[in-house]
Structure 1
Amino acid sequence: MPDMVTPAPTQTGYWTEERLMMRDMARDFAMNEVLPVANKLDPEKGDIPQDLIDKMGELGFFGILIPEEYGGLGLGYFEYCIVAEELSRAWMCAGSIIARGNTFYRSIPARNETEKREKIALMAEGKYLGAMAMSEPNAGSDVASITCRARRENDDWVVTGNKYWCTFADRANFLNVVCRTDTDPNAPRWAGLTSIMFEKKPGTFPKGVSSASIPKIGYFGWKTFELAFDEARTPALPSREFDGGAFKAIASGLEGARAHTAARSIGLAQAALEDAIAFSKERVQFGQPISDFQAIRFKLATMATEIEAARQLMYHVCNEIDSGRRCDKEAAMVKYYAAEMAERTTSEALQILGGAGYTTLHAVERYWRDARLTKIFEGSSEIQQRIISDAILGKPTKT
């Protein structure tokens, strides 16, 4: 992949010297450390190596959002998303895995404050990471339809049910399992959901939990599982997602999650653009490089414009989140636009490479496969359109 083709931003507006340094550090690491590993392992459907995770931890990537008092960097979503974008330019799983620390520290399982601090400090170093078990075979975007149940027996939770799309569940140090704990038929569907923590050793699953790896067409670098809980027991430890409050806790983090997905989408699109530019200059047809042909030039111009539009919207959303202002509509917009843009852009890049793009000899096919997923996870494009339309039109009129 060639160097960045767009000029570096000046130190105005959103940019500070510290942010520029962090962006450049993440870019150098992505290009020099992550990309070679991705190019080797992704075609083999291999997992991201532990030593690469350790290096990311040493650079502080898992603790960007974690407060300094707990051993993190104490920064904001702007920094978090510029790092995620750069890492995703090499391998989307690398841009994604940092969420296993940054967004999990608030719900970390701990018996007391001392244990909590110790675990969060390890999390900031990438040494204590979590995995989310929320979706189910019949509950994806409709979180309120979760049926996996948990009941209290003395000091334990006992969990029974199935979970789906649990990425990194095998290598995580703990599972955050969203369960239904209130069976009141008169309560709202979203009420009575509780996040229950299962601690475990990486490479294993807790007693009473069986797993099956889900075959995917992309998003390699880590495995995604279906989990079955059969009277699985775990200590009832205090967490932010107190009994019955998981739905609101999940909803409160959606703005940041959508900005993070936008960042990953933009990283994929930028990588595809850069590869397409390099190829167009090298590929000669009819006696001249195809970059001389207007059809190719206009494709590249459109791709670059859409990437930059998504990036600037992402910066705005991150700034709003860090400023404490509500931006659920704008977060839905950037997630929707960036994901749709990433699929278009990576597809156009593959088209520019022609037959070469349809091989695993070039990374463009990886960006294309991974970009397709961004339209589905963290709330599908259709869910984002519903949020946006409700914000500008109000809820649909009931008949």
Structure 2
Amino acid sequence: MSDDIREAPVPILKSPWATPERLRLQQEAREFAANVVTPLANKLDKKKGEFPRSFLDQMGKQGYFGILVDKKYGGMGLGAFEYCMISEELARGWMSAASIIARAQGGGVVGDEKRREELLRKSAAGQWIGSTALSEPGTGSDLASVSTRATRDGDEWVLNGQKRWTGFAKGSDYIRILARTRDPKKGERRAAGMANFVIEKKRGSFPEGITGTLIDKIGYHGFTTWQLTLDNVRIPATHKVEDEGGTAAFKSVQAMLNRARVHTAARAVGLARAAVEDTTVYIQKREQFGEPLANFQALRFMLAEMAARVEQARSFYHHVAHLIDSGEPAEKESAMIKLLATEMAVEVTGQALQMHGGNGYTTEYSIERYWRDARLTTIFEGTSQIQQRIISDRLLPRGGRV
């Protein structure tokens, strides 16, 4: 294996956002990524393997499933900044490890007060890990057009429809479904009448009424992704997350996506950083024409620009995470950093693969994994083109004139 990676300086050491506690958390995450996550990725990714439960339990003991959960429920009680900072470190080892933690963080909590507290504690410990079903076969970024239906029947809701791109659906403890409870009334926004529902289930199987078709991906391994068919799936009335009516459910999804986009930016930075660090080592070891590749100015300048772009994206996602923690909606800013960081990661990992030459196009080096996973970051949580639309709509409201 090629992954003899030189330890890099702590990236936020000189940042105005740095605190002793953040530096400690970052160093812990870095060591965990190097000692646990990277070896697992090197073993499983090539064969499209899934996380063993023992690994998820280790992540739970680290506290990474409860970064955003209040301390009184066993979580860390921290904010988007720490969530993204830790995710960058995990993504440096394997982006999938940085992704699975998003499937807890106090999500999927329903029921009475006692049950909610129980689920929050389980979530923080990594014992209540969910799967989110938003998109559908005919509906990707246009979530206001979802057609999955939820119909009230006495003390239950009955769900029918299809969902696509449902990651970790089979291994999860619950599936969160975005569905329509009614059609919009005249004059209402298309998102009216939508709600989120929680389907509780056993790990490793689908509940009654749900069948799944596996989606074969070129990357983003560690957990499987599914297309789901819901046929009269019955859940208790208490498993509806938002109140019916209006656009509350859609706004909830939008708020979740804002934080998810900064999280994706942090994951993209982790991937790009991994590419820079691996390439730095590789070109010092690899010799051509009687000297190390690191002596060739063209490659030195490529590496310099790659490293500068990673630092730039990191600084921006730190800023946006801080805005979110300060209570700012930051919709435009989260779209901006998602756009810039993910496109940067695609380009930087591609340049790193090029600098590895033919070796980069083999599975002997981890650079091909970074490259495959980086390509996905420009697609999920809203494509780059969706981010451009969000940004331009905030800068240039439609129908407006100067």
Q: What 5-or-longer segments of structure 1 have no aligned partner? A: none
Residue 184 (structure 1) shift: 4.2
Looking at structure 2, the residues matched to 391 and 234 of structure 1 have their Cα atoms a distance apart, in angstroms, of 39
Q: Secondary structure at the match of 1:369?
A: helix
Does 2:164 match 1:161?
Answer: no
Any idea what the Cα deviations from partners look like across 1:114-161, whole Å, max 9, x if unmatched?
Answer: 111111101101011110011001111100000011101111111111
Letter in 2 for 1:140: G
CA distance change for structure 1 residues 34 and 234 in 2, over 3 Å: closer, same or farther? same
In structure 1, the partner of 2:66 is: 63
Residue 71 (structure 1) shift: 1.7
- Is 322-331 or 184-193 further displaced after alignment? 184-193
Looking at structure 1, the residues matched to 163 and 236 of structure 2 have their Cα atoms a distance apart, in angstroms, of 20
- Is 280-289 or 227-236 further displaced after alignment? 227-236
Any idea what the Cα deviations from partners look like across 1:248-281, whole Å, max 9, x if unmatched?
Answer: 1111222211110000000000011111111100
Any idea what the Cα deviations from partners look like across 1:333-367, whole Å, max 9, x if unmatched?
Answer: 10000000000000001001111110111110000
May I ask how many residue pairs the two structures share in their alignment? 395
Letter in 1 for 2:214: S
Letter in 2 for 1:109: V
Residue 396 (structure 1) shift: 5.4
> 1:265-276 residue pairs with structure 2 within 5 A?
265-276=268-279
Any idea what the Cα deviations from partners look like across 1:350-389, whole Å, max 9, x if unmatched?
Answer: 0011111101111100000000000000011001111111
Residue 240 (structure 1) shift: 4.2
Residue 238 (structure 1) shift: 5.0
- Is 233-242 or 64-73 further displaced after alignment? 233-242
Q: Secondary structure at the match of 1:162?
A: strand
Looking at structure 1, the residues matched to 296 and 9 of structure 2 have their Cα atoms a distance apart, in angstroms, of 21
Residue 393 (structure 1) shift: 2.1
Task: Detail structure 1 runs of 4+ shifted over 6 Å in the superposition.
Answer: none
In structure 2, the partner of 1:120 is: 120
Residue 241 (structure 1) shift: 2.2
In structure 1, the partner of 2:340 is: 337
In structure 2, the partner of 1:177 is: 177
Q: Secondary structure at the match of 1:73?
A: coil
Does 2:264 match 1:261?
Answer: yes
Letter in 2 for 1:200: K
**Residue 359 of structure 1 contacts residue 365 of structure 1 at CA under 8 Å; is this kept in 2?**
yes
TM-score, normalization: structure 1?
Answer: 0.96
In structure 2, the partner of 1:367 is: 370
> 1:296-307 residue pairs with structure 2 within 5 A?
296-307=299-310
Looking at structure 1, the residues matched to 92 and 8 of structure 2 have their Cα atoms a distance apart, in angstroms, of 13
In structure 1, the partner of 2:228 is: 227
Question: How many percent of aligned residue pairs carry the same amino acid?
Answer: 47
Residue 185 (structure 1) shift: 4.7
Superposed CA RMSD in Å reads 1.4
Residue 232 (structure 1) shift: 1.2
In structure 2, the partner of 1:213 is: 214
Residue 6 (structure 1) shift: 4.1
1:309 to 302, 312, 315: 312
Residue 326 (structure 1) shift: 2.8
CA distance change for structure 1 residues 86 and 116 in 2, over 3 Å: closer, same or farther? same
Q: Secondary structure at the match of 2:163?
A: strand
In structure 1, the partner of 2:391 is: 388
TM-score, normalization: structure 2?
Answer: 0.95
CA distance change for structure 1 residues 184 and 308 in 2, over 3 Å: closer, same or farther? closer
**Residue 196 of structure 1 contacts residue 236 of structure 1 at CA under 8 Å; is this kept in 2?**
no
